[in-house]
Chains A and B, each alone.
Chain A
Amino acid sequence: MKQLKRYVKNKSVVIGFTIISLVILAAIFAPYLTPYDPTEMDMSKRLISPNSEHLLGTDEFGRDLLTRLLYGARVSLFVGFISVSVAMTIGVLLGLISGYYGKWVDTIIMRIVDIFLSFPVILLAIALVAALGPGLGNVVIALGLVYWTNYARVVRSTVLAVKEEEYVQAAITMGASNLRIIFKYILPNVTAPIIVVATLGLGVAIVAEATLSFLGLGIQPPEPSWGWTLSVGLDFIRNAPYLSVFPGIAIMITVLGFNLLGDGLRDITDPKLNK
């Protein structure tokens, strides 16, 4: 209860959580919030400016933009959650191994982290999707493969501190297996920093997906994607600027939500900041 109060008192957490909840609800209930189909074309209604019938206007194929954005939220959130899960699984496992076993295992894993950190991440993601081919599955794989380093570093540094704790030393003395120590005694103590990194990572993954789709490498039409919709809007920037404005607002608000939530969680869970 005391813990919950701390979360409720933190403005960043409250605002971020509210934004994210609204976006998730909008994505889930998209079919009930709009009467239109996100992929059905109607050329007689192309490029209509925002009005009472089409609140955000229509695109170059006469599709309702609000509908496309609502369904696009599903794509963005799906890519965000799955790619973060992939990155988290890789990063947490390697971080645990690196921190717990130390020595040459740690050196090798940390050097691999250094190599990945030598690339501007989005460039590596672009190159991977270019090799694997565009599409939802490959975008998720590419983002998972390039964003794992943060988890590995955070988990490793936490493990280094936790493994010196008395209860871990006691478990070692009592002859507990390495797997048991890692997953039963150490992992529960690294969940707080992992949640913070994952929350902030969701925002990063959503922008990365939008960037890949904007470049034509991500989600392929006619699937609704915020990045692709924005990219097409560039061709109609003179007579239908709303096509570029609204998808950008959708991306920014969602990412802002995850960033605020992540910042707030970090403020609460980081003891240094609490002091």
Chain B
Amino acid sequence: MKKYILRRLLQLIPVLLGIAVISFLLLHMIPGDPATVLLGQEATPEEIERLQENLGLNDPLPVQLFNYLGSIVTFDLGTSIFRGEEVSTIILTALPATIELAVCSLLISLIIAVPLGIIAAVRQNTFLDYFSMFFAQLGISMPVFWLGVLLIMGFSVHLGWFPSFGRGEPLTEGFIHLFTTGSFSVLFASLKHLFLPALSLGVMGSAMITRMIRSTMIEVLDMDYIRTMRAGGTIEFLIVMKYAFRNALLPVITIVGLQFGNLLGGAIVTETIFGWPGLGSLVISSISQRDFPIVQGVVLTIALLFALVNLIVDLLYARINPKIRHN
């Protein structure tokens, strides 16, 4: 297992390097002089020159790349043009909100997808199966921002049950408050703010996972050992949950890892709709402010997060399935 972990970590190095190079090249894809474009028409030549100096644009391209790679190793992502603060500080402030949203969305995805996928497989070609697959197909075809808008319309505007904008206290604060004072109020307010954005992202994520669980469960339920158990009179619930689902879980873990990346992507739009103060809102507002160091920093951070999640998923997969380690 140690060898496998080491190999996967080594494989991650070129990927991380590539991510950094793409993030670096983004600034250079701006047509014309990036400093002039970023500062706009009203900027004075002195301001443009200062920004060129700050962004290191006066150096030759290979030197700029080398400096950029050197600085991101120390998590120095430069200074925000618009806010004047360190980009890494701004990102670290917004990151917990995005992680909170993505993790809760993933939980909702699993809460929806696991029972739906299992029921669809066990009751294959019945109404329940068709309903699950119809739901999954809709979930895949529906743009995540539209679902967000529909949820706001229904639960915020019409029913007034949930706020449509902003974030309460972080969930961790809510739990701390609950354990120290015994009061649910802070946690409840946080959950109320979190529910709609997490649900809209969660439904999107659940569609793919439902399909995956259904197809792997159908495959496993058709295996000889399951037939033998049925013939031996084992209770059907036990067969499905204990013996079939555990084996069907393997490919599902991979798709859950990939879905986490999709959730991070979906979070960009969802955060914008719900005014959720995470990396998504940050990147969109930075684009409108032409604050490119932040855009580069967010791209780098999200890609890094995604690469790490995939690494964890791979390691988890290898831990559960010894065949992977040996291959």
State whether A122 touches B18 (Cβ < 8 A). Answer: no
B26 to chain A, nearest CB (A): 5
A207 to chain B, nearest CB (A): 5
0/1 per residue, A216-235, Cβ < 8 Å to B? Answer: 11000000000100100110
State whether B141 touches A130 (Cβ < 8 A). Answer: no
Given A127-B299, A128-B29, A118 and B307 contact (CB-CB distance below 8 Å): yes
Residues in B neighbouring A251, C-beta threshold 8 A: 143, 146
A229 to chain B, nearest CB (A): 11
Residues in B neighbouring A207, C-beta threshold 8 A: 143
0/1 per residue, A104-144, Cβ < 8 Å to B? Answer: 00000001101100111111101110111100000000000
Residues in A neighbouring B296, C-beta threshold 8 A: 127
Which B268-289 residues have C-beta < 8 A from chain A? Answer: 268-269, 272-273, 283-284, 287-288
A18 to B188 CA separation, bound complex (whole angstroms) = 47
State whether A119 touches B302 (Cβ < 8 A). Answer: yes
Residues in B neighbouring A252, C-beta threshold 8 A: 138, 141-143, 146
State whether B30 touches A211 (Cβ < 8 A). Answer: no
A244 to B30 CA separation, bound complex (whole angstroms) = 33
State whether A120 touches B287 (Cβ < 8 A). Answer: no
Which A130-187 residues have C-beta < 8 A from chain B? Answer: 130-133
Stretch among B57-65, B112-120, B257-265 lining the A interface: B257-265
State whether A120 touches B26 (Cβ < 8 A). Answer: no
A255 at the interface (CB under 8 A from B): yes
Residue of B nearest to A257 (CB): B141
B68 at the interface (CB under 8 A from A): no
A260 at the interface (CB under 8 A from B): yes
Given A120-B306, A259-B140, A111 and B295 contact (CB-CB distance below 8 Å): no
B303 at the interface (CB under 8 A from A): yes
Residues in B neighbouring A217, C-beta threshold 8 A: 287
State whether B288 touches A132 (Cβ < 8 A). Answer: no
Residues in B neighbouring A79, C-beta threshold 8 A: none
A255 to B137 CA separation, bound complex (whole angstroms) = 10
State whether B31 touches A120 (Cβ < 8 A). Answer: no
Residue of A nearest to B290 (CB): A130
State whether B303 touches A111 (Cβ < 8 A). Answer: no
Which A241-275 residues have C-beta < 8 A from chain B? Answer: 241, 244-245, 247-248, 251-253, 255-256, 259-260
Given A126-B287, A127-B26, A215-B284, A237 and B145 contact (CB-CB distance below 8 Å): no
A234 to B303 CA separation, bound complex (whole angstroms) = 30
A210 at the interface (CB under 8 A from B): yes
Given A111-B18, A124-B299, A259 and B288 contact (CB-CB distance below 8 Å): no
Kindly identify which residue among B18, B157, B302 contacts A123, using a CB–CB cutoff of 8 Å: B302
A272 to chain B, nearest CB (A): 11
Given A211-B145, A251-B143, A252-B141, A120 and B265 contact (CB-CB distance below 8 Å): yes
Residue of B nearest to A122 (CB): B265
Kindly identify which residue among A120, A131, A133, A245 contacts B262, using a CB–CB cutoff of 8 Å: A120
Kindly identify which residue among A119, A120, A131, A244 contacts B149, using a CB–CB cutoff of 8 Å: A244
A82 to B280 CA separation, bound complex (whole angstroms) = 27
State whether B146 touches A259 (Cβ < 8 A). Answer: no
A38 to chain B, nearest CB (A): 21
A247 to B299 CA separation, bound complex (whole angstroms) = 29
Residue of A nearest to B258 (CB): A117
A234 to chain B, nearest CB (A): 6
Residue of A nearest to B152 (CB): A237
Residues in B neighbouring A216, C-beta threshold 8 A: 288
A115 to B142 CA separation, bound complex (whole angstroms) = 27
Residue of A nearest to B146 (CB): A248
Closest 7 CB pairs of A and B: A120-B265, A115-B18, A248-B146, A256-B141, A131-B29, A255-B141, A122-B265
16 sampled A-B residue pairs with Cβ under 8 A: A115-B18, A121-B265, A126-B283, A131-B26, A207-B143, A211-B143, A215-B269, A215-B284, A227-B143, A244-B146, A244-B149, A248-B142, A252-B138, A252-B143, A255-B142, A256-B138
User: Given A118-B310, A215-B272, A255-B140, 4 more contacts at CB 8 Å?
Assistant: A123-B302, A234-B273, A237-B153, A244-B149
